[in-house]
């Protein structure tokens, strides 16, 4: 099902309400297909460019909703030492833990 695009994000709530029954049905049936991402290039300090994909507002909202539910289910199963991509933790926390472990040995 092709979804509409928006001239600006302020149009999203009203349009989303209209489309929600079909979106929900597609999600539950497994037929939802995300829209292609918008490809842009971000300049880097050295003059080269880094590709960046920007999802649609709808796709990003669906991604975030799924991530929030899955996080509640799976986060308790992770090791207490696991820091990457977890709420309230960062890669810097992981580096600090490694330094602590190596100093304790």
Torsion, Cα 45 46 48 53, to 10 degrees, reads -30
User: Under 8 Å CB-to-CB from 3, ≥6 apart: which residues?
Assistant: 19, 23, 35, 56, 58
DSSP state of 20: H
Model-wide pTM > 0.75? no
pLDDT digits (tens, 9 = 90+) for 44-95: 999 999 999 999 888 999 999 999 999 899 888 888 778 777 788 888 888 8
Name residue, tokens 């709530």.
Answer: 13
CA distance linking residue 13 with residue 54, whole number of Å: 19
């Amino acid at each position: 099902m092709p979804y509409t695009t928006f001239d600006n994000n302020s149009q999203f709530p009203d349009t989303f309400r209209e489309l929600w029954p079909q979106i929900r049905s597609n999600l539950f049936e497994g037929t939802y297909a995300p829209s292609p991402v918008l490809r842009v290039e971000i300049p880097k300090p050295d003059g080269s460019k880094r590709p960046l994909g920007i999802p649609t507002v709808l796709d990003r909202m669906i991604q975030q909703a799924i991530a929030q539910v899955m996080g509640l289910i799976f986060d308790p199963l992770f090791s207490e030492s696991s820091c990457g991509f977890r709420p309230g933790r960062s890669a810097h926390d992981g580096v600090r833990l490694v330094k602590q472990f190596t100093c304790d040995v």
